[in-house]
Structure 1
Amino acid sequence: MTASVVVKNWRWMHDDGTFATAPLSFALKPGERVILRGRSGAGKSTLLAALAGVAGQSGQQSGELLVNGRMPEDARGQIGLVLQDPYSQAVMERIGDDVAFGLENIGVPPGDMNALISDALAAVGLDLPLDHPTDALSGGERQRLALAGVLALRPTLLLLDEPTANLDPKGARLICDSVARVAREPNMTLIVVDHNPELWQDIVTRELLLDERGITESPLTVTAPATLSAGRAPSRAPKPTEVKPNEAKPTPLLRARNLAVGYPNARVAQVDLDIDVAAGEILAVTGANGVGKSALALTLGGLIPPMAGGVSVAAPAPDGPPHKWSSRELARHIGSVFQAPEHQFIGSTVRKDVGLGLRGRSHRAQLSAQVDATLTEFNLAAQHDQNPFTLSGGEKRRLSIADAVVMRPRVLIFDEPTFGQDDVTRLDLVTSFRRLRDAGHAIVVVTHDERFVNEVADHQLELTA
């Protein structure tokens, strides 16, 4: 059995009376495979959640939305959804149990589960023991686990929301190949949201574009992504240089020596790292999923202790390693952006969230002006009164960056800052990062975005297993 999709004049209204989208109308025949594109915040994730029957209670929908002629809530066993946030999907403590959870819910006999679980994990390249703890996975590994859990169910309608956003290039290609095999063999219907259509050009047959007017349909077109020229001046090389031991560099603002990193109570991910980042420099940290990039970012940011070696920040800064500083001292000197943006939201509105860190540091008028300028810089002025948790994935990412940047700490640590961004907002981030570098910040960026590395980084550190 395959799935048809019919959407007629459908739209979602939030509790505050605002609409997530214009009225939407389109139809998919059984077995069609499409890519859904649009600006960050256009409503793509809201539409996928509604198609999966999990749009939630914080709003109401109008119009018609049918899967195989039924409301999505009545067809859930036939629909598989991979969410945008990889940290919101794991429900069990071990990866084997996590994949088994869905199979148990649809009544698969226990004797048939092991083969389905193993096949699904192999399909997404997650080569780990079945009892491996889910909380020890990197963001990219969590994304693979989420997809494995859905693929094991063999749904007739597969909905993928930014499935490759947290993956290294090799992992992204593996995911696309896995989806291609599963989607083609049983003639599955597929809707994928991705800002990188070139990854899917051999899988999908057409493109749906979601904007303020609604949805328009067109044949798939893959064009070269928009970029900005690299570097700050014609004399600067467009490619970042690799970090080399004992290389002569400017006086570092952020320094690590003989550093070993890993999550508390977990294995050591990297050892013997020597890192220097001077004021006015951007260091890009790259590498495959699971090699310790996020653990390194948290360690450099003083949020977890090093397993060996040390981290220091040049004066004026508190004495001692950053992980022993107070939270107030950390916020003043090091700004961190986590891989999961929701983990750092504490304000009831976007504006309050950005302004909380400035309390006690500025006069009211100065605070208001600084918050306004930061919201404008990161394309969040229109969302200033929204609850942070109701933002789109791309908007949440930009808010987490705004939260870190508004206090203007000398050291900035970013984990996957371009996640969920369309071409326009991504280029705006490139401009913002160059501006921060020119203002003298020492910046570390963990990323899989090769274009972003070439456009903003002065140096590159590639971690290997």
Structure 2
Amino acid sequence: MKDILLEVNQLSVTFEEESRPTLNELSFSIKKGDSILLLGPSGSGKSTLTYCLNGLYPKELDGEMGGTISFSGKPLHQYASGQLNLEVGTVFQDPETQFCMLTVEDEIAFGLENKKMAPDRMDAEIERVLSLVGLEHRRKDTIHTLSGGQKQKLALAAVLALNPSLLILDEPTANLDPSASKELAETIRQLKEQQNLTLLIIEHNIDYWLPIINRTILIDRDGTLFFDGEMTEAINHYDDELVQRGIWLPEVTRLAKDAKLAKPWPLAADQLPNGLNVHAERQSANQFDKVLLQIEHGRFKNKDKLLLDIPSLTIYQGEFIAITGKNGSGKTLLSQMMTGLLKHASGKIEFMGKQLKRWKQEELYQQIGYVFQNPEHQFLSDSVREEIAFGQPASTAKTEELIEEIQLSEHADKHPFQLSQGQKRRLSVATMLVQEPQLLVLDEPTFGQDSRTTAMLMQQMTAQHQRGCTIVMITHDMELVNRYASRVLLVKEGKIVFDDTPEAIWKTANLTEYGLSLPLKEAYQQREQKVSLHA
């Protein structure tokens, strides 16, 4: 058919030393102009499929690949090296893996040079694509100074500069704040209209993409296809199956389902009827009096630019604190300052009554656990089992139990770098949980996770918290903040601008100013209150 852009027929992928295929006889086609949302549990092979569609596999595959893939009627293996990548643009789940240059503008220019664009046109094109993603002010900066979310935007800009026919986005909002996620989805919508882009979006958080997509493909945990059709049909006819497989339902659907609303369920908040019985689960407001960590006059500069300014911050034993704010606001820097990972920070920082600089490093990090935003930054061992057992008695029952809990039993002997991004994240969290530290700091612990593994990770963190561990969690997920946090630190431009309970911040802070949005249940309750006042 003339309108078929890409066709996949009986695609199977099996990695070396794997007992079963990661992808198992997948068949589907993508038409020109399609906007497809690809969903599946963590580890179901979604990213592996991406590597197949853009031609990286089988060239870089340690394993076997069967079946065929054609683009514009031509088998992928017949495309010359680099030719396919001008037509199929991919933003990978981990954006750092696709950067080639040192600065923001050079990264964009690299692709334009490969496209053989005339030098006198490059400047305007670099400015155009950076403006699309809101990074024009970082044009001259080095890439390593960008936040995780800003790196995600840069990767997208570099791909957009190539004007591909098919754009594949692998977890594009995983590192973005809610405001940036909405802006990205709107940018993609506009680009689609202007350039007739064909889209394949791999995502766990699907709410931002519902107005754009016309079709949904669902992959099961065993790498097989179990649905291909409209999202409304999937949600209203297969909701229990989706929940069982760990696939996130839209937030509005989850609220309607919890409130026992009859089908068909709404997909937008303004479609929710008044009078639903909605109650937000929250942490109890306990009183904390034992100081665990204290910062006084904490500051951090980079080339005379003040990036953090924390006059005073006290964290008490037993708190569950959420740090949130826009991408690039200083959340990660703050977490690294309080744990001693941020070097050359000034001020007085005490942990357990002793200044951080007076702690021996090995003793300090027996008491403090830190989960990095990029899990690969903390792996030290050659297998999943060794990573979890690192610093603990080898092959203990506890190690094996934790491997099973994080659903990595089949991969226990694999090198951590061989795992999917979602599996790497689960492993990075588990390595800190097994140590039972006094303070556990987690930078975006649930990004890239399906609903089942998110619930599992939060259950493990809650169990650790109930044992007396103080939790500090950086997150953009306001639903998690609303349910689990007893205190919220809202960060803007390196300063803590709000320090209060979730309930207080929902009522007093203008969240859109900080790139955030109200949890849906809280937004619904506030809407109900306005309705009752005007009744």
Counterparts of residues 357-372 of structure 1 (less than 5 Å): 357-358=391-392, 362=393, 364=394, 367-372=395-400
Q: Is the 8 A contact 1:11 1:23 kept in 2?
A: yes
User: Kindly tell me: are residues 210 and 147 of structure 1, through their superposed partners in 2, closer, same or farther at Cα, counting changes over 3 Å?
Assistant: same
Deviates more, 1:276-285 or 1:214-223: 214-223
Instruction: Tell me the residue number matched to 2:293.
Output: 254
Counterparts of residues 154-173 of structure 1 (less than 5 Å): 154-173=163-182
User: Kindly tell me: are residues 123 and 2 of structure 1, through their superposed partners in 2, closer, same or farther at Cα, counting changes over 3 Å?
Assistant: farther
Query: Which is bigger in relative contact order (C-alpha 8 A, separation at least 6)?
Result: 1
Q: How far off is 1:240 after superposition?
A: 9.0
Q: Is the 8 A contact 1:9 1:64 kept in 2?
A: yes
Secondary structure of the residue aligned to 2:436 is coil
Deviates more, 1:97-106 or 1:176-185: 176-185
Instruction: Tell me the residue number matched to 1:244.
Output: none
In the TM superposition, what whole-angstrom CA distance separates every residue of 1:361-416 from its partner, at most 9, and x where no partner exists? x4x5xx52121122233222232122211111111111111111111111111000
Matching residue's letter, 1:238: R
TM-score by length of 1: 0.89
Instruction: Tell me the residue number matched to 1:282.
Output: 320
Matching residue's letter, 2:419: L
Q: Which has the larger radius of gyration?
A: 2
Q: How far off is 1:131 after superposition?
A: 1.3
Q: How far off is 1:333 after superposition?
A: 0.9
User: Kindly tell me: are residues 2 and 340 of structure 1, through their superposed partners in 2, closer, same or farther at Cα, counting changes over 3 Å?
Assistant: farther
282, 290, 302: which one aligns with 1:238: 282
Matched, 1:12 2:13: yes
Instruction: Tell me the residue number matched to 2:114.
Output: 105
Secondary structure of the residue aligned to 1:128 is helix
Matched, 1:297 2:335: yes
Matching residue's letter, 1:214: T
In the TM superposition, what whole-angstrom CA distance separates every residue of 1:176-232 from its partner, at most 9, and x where no partner exists? 1111111222211110111111110111111100112611202023644459x9xxx
CA distance in 2, matches of 1:138, 1:16: 36
| Identity between Structure 1 and Structure 2 (%) | 33
User: Kindly tell me: are residues 4 and 320 of structure 1, through their superposed partners in 2, closer, same or farther at Cα, counting changes over 3 Å?
Assistant: same
Matched, 1:197 2:206: yes
Q: Which runs of 5+ in 2 are unaligned?
A: 236-248, 259-278, 494-535
Q: How far off is 1:341 after superposition?
A: 0.6
Matching residue's letter, 1:104: E
Once superposed, which parts of structure 1, at least 4 consecutive aligned residues long, lie more than 3 Å away?
Answer: 221-227, 264-267, 323-327
TM-score by length of 2: 0.78
Counterparts of residues 248-397 of structure 1 (less than 5 Å): 249-261=288-300, 267-305=305-343, 307-314=345-352, 319-321=354-356, 325-358=359-392, 362=393, 364=394, 367-397=395-425
CA distance in 2, matches of 1:464, 1:148: 25
Q: How far off is 1:251 after superposition?
A: 1.2
Q: Which runs of 5+ in 1 are unaligned?
A: 230-234, 242-246
Q: Is the 8 A contact 1:50 1:72 kept in 2?
A: no
Q: Is the 8 A contact 2:371 2:428 kept in 1?
A: yes
Q: Is the 8 A contact 2:384 2:416 kept in 1?
A: yes
Secondary structure of the residue aligned to 1:26 is strand
Q: How far off is 1:50 after superposition?
A: 1.1
CA distance in 1, matches of 2:6, 2:31: 7
CA distance in 2, matches of 1:259, 1:43: 44
Secondary structure of the residue aligned to 1:23 is strand
Matched, 1:58 2:62: yes
CA distance in 1, matches of 2:6, 2:90: 15
Higher helix share: 2
Matching residue's letter, 2:63: G
Matching residue's letter, 1:294: T
Alpha-carbon RMSD across the aligned residues, in angstroms, is 2.5
Matching residue's letter, 2:355: G
Q: Is the 8 A contact 2:283 2:484 kept in 1?
A: no
Instruction: Tell me the residue number matched to 2:525.
Output: none
Matched, 1:43 2:81: no
Deviates more, 1:14-23 or 1:389-398: 14-23
User: Kindly tell me: are residues 386 and 417 of structure 1, through their superposed partners in 2, closer, same or farther at Cα, counting changes over 3 Å?
Assistant: same
Q: Is the 8 A contact 2:288 2:319 kept in 1?
A: no
In the TM superposition, what whole-angstrom CA distance separates every residue of 1:298-335 from its partner, at most 9, and x where no partner exists? 222221235222322216xxx531x5644422331111
Counterparts of residues 127-138 of structure 1 (less than 5 Å): 127-138=136-147
